[in-house]
Structure 1
């Protein structure tokens, strides 16, 4: 697509007419222009469906149009009128389809019937559901359960996720990687150590009570646009919004609310960020430590002068441990090193710290710009340090907010999708279902990839998602994948992961969340958890794409029944016939969070899971919140930046995608149209390498581990990005990320700082 690229600065705000046009274009492309707009009126409503895109919370009083541009595109993508008929697979070999782009594959439309791979013909061919279940069960029974992986993408409901995790443990393993492993596992490791909870502590109502917001490594305009509404309201109240991000993203700069007729007619814009700091890739911990150092210096000066303290010493003394060691390290950190590593001036950090010190209640929010580094866990802990200094956890308007991606990725972990047995009530499951659950730690995403490459993993079952395209080390993974004995993919659309298959392979089409789900007891609804730990019902509202589709619970039950020995305590058919029975089972396994599940979800618009940290009850080993003294300021110690030709690559998502799903080739906010193969580069870095605007180049990973990693065809594009950094799109850049280049304790791929060299291309 590079030859079609058109790149010019975009002058408009986030939202506005650009957002409306983009949504309508997508609905038109999916042949849903009129009916799609009607469906969108039910999105994120009490009797409607939960968005299949991000997990941002629903307000207590929803707006008339409670959806954003990205969520609307995700809905259009799912309810498309396009279909993939049997003739499509008869006319296209797998080898031929590998030449298609990601966007072209998914643009074919919804899958309609279960398929089995015919290796001799190199084609997917139809198969009956029961035959598929029987063969999958036969293959699984012949394998060592510990050699199999059951992956879950973040869109599966609480009901399906519970059944999937239970099936895995009944079968005999905890190999349950999910999309959390690729993004916020650093949160799931870091926050429990710091505050005793693996999730954020704020609710949506806290945005109305806060008087300071600090944001790190999160692109609100493209990844969670509905957050722009509470941000806009906060900005209008004069709340300082202090943003740290390498690129200047339009969502943090200016916003025109598409739901406001006045703003749309007048072109009125709201300034969002009051301070915008373009931190270097890998410089967040240094920036945060600089803020902490400035706070400590300001506190000492204020107390000496008899002014109010900048540190909440009462909170620190009563609720925390480790303060003195951390404070000593912050005071000793030299300003020149903090400035060099963060790319920010001391004066800018000191000014921001002073603004923060004047606030009564502050929110610290972050995205994968913190988590996807070698020191991602420490990055999360450093942000908590900053909040603890002023008691900004466990009070109204204050707390930590990891901004999650997939709409139920957090909820899956809540009901057992995890490789970590310590996070699951195994004794309760044992008593509930009469079996001995496996106790050994399973494989996460990186470990599953290592096992596939090494040949230790023999089967991969995917509950949604596009695993092969989402993970690092693409070339090695694609080469190893066909050596698997069994691959099973549950999906709504065709994607690249379905073109690399094991010796025995099945493609099983499922209902989407927005579709009506009729079972034996009547219409069903499912439940999801948002990023603020609130559980919501979701009711399908459109007719299924085809009569042969089955729900995710029905597919899980079909495979489980064909694989496991009979067990009278496992009512698979009853669960499929009535999802309320699954919710009863969830409540029995997790009574603290889900007691009276069906009654509460019926009478309430949603309910929050209990979170002790909100009440300043710290479920840590010491019973207190903990400061972390950073061992070093280098977030990515693998990267040797001494060679002048090495740059730090930041992988990005565009305005026209959600994770691996590519809706189109435009990234409106960055001024890119018609291509995804662009390399955003500082002008000085381009000039130093003799690269003209529009030059075609290749990127190579700048590590010496015996593997050559190279992606060709990027168009050089001058952009406002810190010197020494460059940026390009995910998942196109995944082949450049070594599998070992991950956060040290969470194993999240370190995709926000990859060492690369630019190589010219002929012609």
Structure 2
């Protein structure tokens, strides 16, 4: 029997003393209290190190403490004094460790030595670095290139990522999936046809000039807490902030800024959201179409009465294409259809549209609440349509702002971590390094899983991450993963992927970004890109967890040297000795994005990559920003299932970053003591015959020959729309079919999984 959770209303604001207590608790648990000083002096600051947690922007004029609660937890997790040594592995079999929770595995501390799984003893055993690299290289040389996968999490630096993609392409494959396939790949697919860029258009300074902010499917309090600072300042300028999110999340309600002593003393919060709407899961397209319908009505009224028009018709005429078809589509869509699919009333959407209509510069923020749906691409493009109606792209204080997750997940794509050949300057790489790169597209994350299940993958190299835990279809994938011939995991801590072993499995422990990376030319600098396309330098400040650790660039270089024939144009050793030479190579490959790369490293606030749409230059096929028609009003699965089928949202807790779980507390939602819970609308719970705090079984409501079910969930009444429920990622990934993904991007549709909830 699992532990019972305690659920109580959390009546404190986000930030404030709750965050302060959390910092003390986690720094103590990780034996990392000494890291508190560096958090203040060096964290996310010029001359310091960049956070390994979220990818939110770093201001040119940082706050006294430029970190959030979850960023601090990530740092404590990195610089903990706890160690997972060869002695630990000698005491525990892999079979035993498979029974541990995610939290229990990672709380053991930093990996210190390269390890190889020994199937005979069911233990990991220590190997030397030379033995590991020699064995890995020998194995890789025996495979066809497309039988190997080179996966990257969003944590590796630009320098490491560039070297890694080059390793894969010199090896002969574009099998370069990364963690963006699981989260914001939908953004990368949706934005280019609409505005000609795969990234957002907003810079941090735009928040100083905006007069209206809309947010869709983003939980700021847990996923990007430092964003609360510009939001607070905007509210103090009386900027309206309109939020669409199925759950009522504390971060959007109220915030006490720990940087402000006066506010901490009074505990008087800043109210963040001025209007808060809770659509059903997948109802955002309908909500946006409803807003567009209301805007057209307001514009009609303004025209009829001779007042200033609501829509920016001059912008639409000069800069866009497709508006007449979109207008017809919106006008012909009935309010009855909109209300049913959105789960919101016409009056609510008209009120949101009225706020939008009064603004001269609107920023639209969104997160995985838009991207992880079957029609996630359509949802993002419909949000772009709203902005285009008002001319809210390409001027100060306005634009589209996808909030990326992991700290350098966007930057990795910038330097070539991409399975799509068209996204990479292959001709330039060919000339630069004297080889013929593969031209066929590689495999994305879902396609890798399909290939593993089909027995087509023989080797998997993981540059960070917890791949097997993060993917959908977990039960079948764990079974088939054991048939892979080689698994190589470059890691900092033990996680479940390391325990689902292949025929031959290696753990290669590495430095973290906040640690001093000493190479032949001295301490090294690495770089990352934030959500707003700004590039930042990062200098480690902490002593390495062990003398036996190697840096990520060194590990990538050694695998390359052990695997590939020598190439005098690829100076692996020189790159490791001096990372500045890697940046020179990056600039040569991507001259537009990285002009004067080394000279601009310490630009306060980072230096932005050029985004043409910021200047109203549309790099689309027709040279215009394009209105796109959504395929349906619901971004979720069709409503042809019976009424007992709910839409499950998988989400993170306050004590979590991606698959890293820091504890069993979800303070901001008032849930403590267990992660095996399901949050439900009270009326749904009663209708389905479930008792409050009783046990439930979740069963995926699809008929594809695979039974997916999980039991032992504690039922909690929560403020959710009817027909929507929520439970934690990654535990519930076992319920997500591999084929249940966003059309066009193949991002797992984890924000609306069809399930039935039954008494257990």
Which bracket does the TM-score occupy, shorter chain normalised?
over 0.9
Q: Secondary structure at the match of 2:527?
A: strand
Task: Map Cα deviations across residues 669-722 of structure 1 (whole Å, 9 max, x no partner).
Answer: 111011111110011011112211110111000000000001111100001100
Partner of 2:327: 327
Task: Map Cα deviations across residues 410-432 of structure 1 (whole Å, 9 max, x no partner).
Answer: 00000000001101000000000
1:686 aligns with 2:685: yes
Distance 1:640 1:95 in 2: 42
Q: How much does 1:758 deviate?
A: 1.1
How does 1:410-559 map onto structure 2 within 5 Å? 410-559=410-559
How does 1:340-355 map onto structure 2 within 5 Å? 340-355=340-355
Partner of 1:381: 381
Give yes or no for contact 2:93–2:123 (8 Å, CA) kept in 1: yes
Distance 1:39 1:558 in 2: 32
Q: How much does 1:640 deviate?
A: 4.4
Distance 1:172 1:485 in 2: 19
Give yes or no for contact 2:689–2:759 (8 Å, CA) kept in 1: no
Distance 1:62 1:361 in 2: 25
Q: Secondary structure at the match of 2:593?
A: helix
Give yes or no for contact 2:59–2:604 (8 Å, CA) kept in 1: no
Q: Secondary structure at the match of 1:150?
A: strand
1:669 aligns with 2:643: no
Partner of 1:295: 295
What's the RMSD between the two structures over aligned residues?
A: 0.9
Give yes or no for contact 1:472–1:737 (8 Å, CA) kept in 2: yes
1:199 aligns with 2:189: no
Q: How much does 1:476 deviate?
A: 0.5
Partner of 2:100: 100
Give yes or no for contact 1:40–1:75 (8 Å, CA) kept in 2: no
Task: Map Cα deviations across residues 60-107 of structure 1 (whole Å, 9 max, x no partner).
Answer: 100110000010101101000000121110111110000000000000
Give yes or no for contact 1:221–1:250 (8 Å, CA) kept in 2: yes
User: Aligned residue pairs: how many?
Assistant: 760
Partner of 1:706: 705
Give yes or no for contact 2:211–2:362 (8 Å, CA) kept in 1: yes
Give yes or no for contact 1:279–1:344 (8 Å, CA) kept in 2: yes
Distance 1:102 1:377 in 2: 32
Q: How much does 1:351 deviate?
A: 1.2
1:64 aligns with 2:64: yes
Give yes or no for contact 2:58–2:606 (8 Å, CA) kept in 1: no
Partner of 1:281: 281
Q: Secondary structure at the match of 2:482?
A: helix
Task: Map Cα deviations across residues 289-317 of structure 1 (whole Å, 9 max, x no partner).
Answer: 10011101110111111011011000000
Task: Map Cα deviations across residues 90-141 of structure 1 (whole Å, 9 max, x no partner).
Answer: 1111100000000000000000000011111111100111111111011000
Partner of 2:6: 6
How does 1:609-628 map onto structure 2 within 5 Å? 609-628=609-628
Q: How much does 1:630 deviate?
A: 1.7
Give yes or no for contact 1:211–1:239 (8 Å, CA) kept in 2: yes
Task: Map Cα deviations across residues 366-385 of structure 1 (whole Å, 9 max, x no partner).
Answer: 00000000001111100000
Q: Secondary structure at the match of 1:544?
A: coil
Distance 1:356 1:137 in 2: 57
Structure 2 CA distance for partners of 1:604 and 1:209, relative to 1, 3 Å: closer
Give yes or no for contact 1:241–1:275 (8 Å, CA) kept in 2: yes
Give yes or no for contact 1:641–1:647 (8 Å, CA) kept in 2: no
Q: How much does 1:759 deviate?
A: 2.0
Give yes or no for contact 2:57–2:530 (8 Å, CA) kept in 1: yes
Q: Secondary structure at the match of 1:116?
A: strand
Q: How much does 1:602 deviate?
A: 4.7
Distance 1:355 1:225 in 2: 25
Give yes or no for contact 2:378–2:629 (8 Å, CA) kept in 1: no
| Residue range with higher mean Cα deviation, 549-558 or 85-94 | 85-94
Task: Map Cα deviations across residues 633-673 of structure 1 (whole Å, 9 max, x no partner).
Answer: 13123x44541211110011000000000000000111101
Distance 1:486 1:5 in 2: 39
Distance 1:589 1:468 in 2: 32
1:743 aligns with 2:742: yes
Distance 1:67 1:244 in 2: 26
Q: Secondary structure at the match of 2:489?
A: strand
Distance 2:640 2:123 in 1: 47
Q: How much does 1:7 deviate?
A: 1.1
Q: How much does 1:604 deviate?
A: 5.6
Partner of 1:565: 565
Q: Secondary structure at the match of 1:3?
A: coil
Distance 1:46 1:90 in 2: 42
Partner of 2:129: 129
Q: How much does 1:15 deviate?
A: 0.6
Q: How much does 1:6 deviate?
A: 1.2
Q: How much does 1:221 deviate?
A: 0.2
Q: How much does 1:37 deviate?
A: 3.7
Give yes or no for contact 1:41–1:65 (8 Å, CA) kept in 2: yes
Q: Secondary structure at the match of 2:569?
A: coil
Task: Map Cα deviations across residues 204-240 of structure 1 (whole Å, 9 max, x no partner).
Answer: 0000100000100000000000000000111111111
How does 1:565-644 map onto structure 2 within 5 Å? 565-602=565-602, 606-637=606-637, 639-640=638-639, 642-644=641-643
Distance 1:361 1:271 in 2: 21
Partner of 2:91: 91
1:225 aligns with 2:225: yes
Distance 2:420 2:443 in 1: 9
How does 1:110-259 map onto structure 2 within 5 Å? 110-259=110-259
TM-score of the pair, normalised by structure 2: 0.99
Distance 1:702 1:757 in 2: 6
| Residue range with higher mean Cα deviation, 361-370 or 37-46 | 37-46
Give yes or no for contact 1:148–1:460 (8 Å, CA) kept in 2: yes
Partner of 1:306: 306
Distance 2:125 2:23 in 1: 35
Partner of 1:24: 24
Give yes or no for contact 2:533–2:608 (8 Å, CA) kept in 1: yes
Distance 1:11 1:636 in 2: 32
Distance 1:307 1:144 in 2: 68
Give yes or no for contact 2:256–2:267 (8 Å, CA) kept in 1: yes
Distance 1:36 1:655 in 2: 20
Give yes or no for contact 1:291–1:353 (8 Å, CA) kept in 2: yes
Structure 2 CA distance for partners of 1:549 and 1:147, relative to 1, 3 Å: same
TM-score of the pair, normalised by structure 1: 0.99
Give yes or no for contact 2:362–2:398 (8 Å, CA) kept in 1: yes
Distance 2:644 2:293 in 1: 33
Q: Secondary structure at the match of 2:396?
A: coil
Q: Secondary structure at the match of 1:255?
A: strand
Distance 2:195 2:530 in 1: 20
1:723 aligns with 2:722: yes
Partner of 1:650: 649
Task: Map Cα deviations across residues 230-261 of structure 1 (whole Å, 9 max, x no partner).
Answer: 00111111111000000000000011111110
Q: How much does 1:605 deviate?
A: 5.3
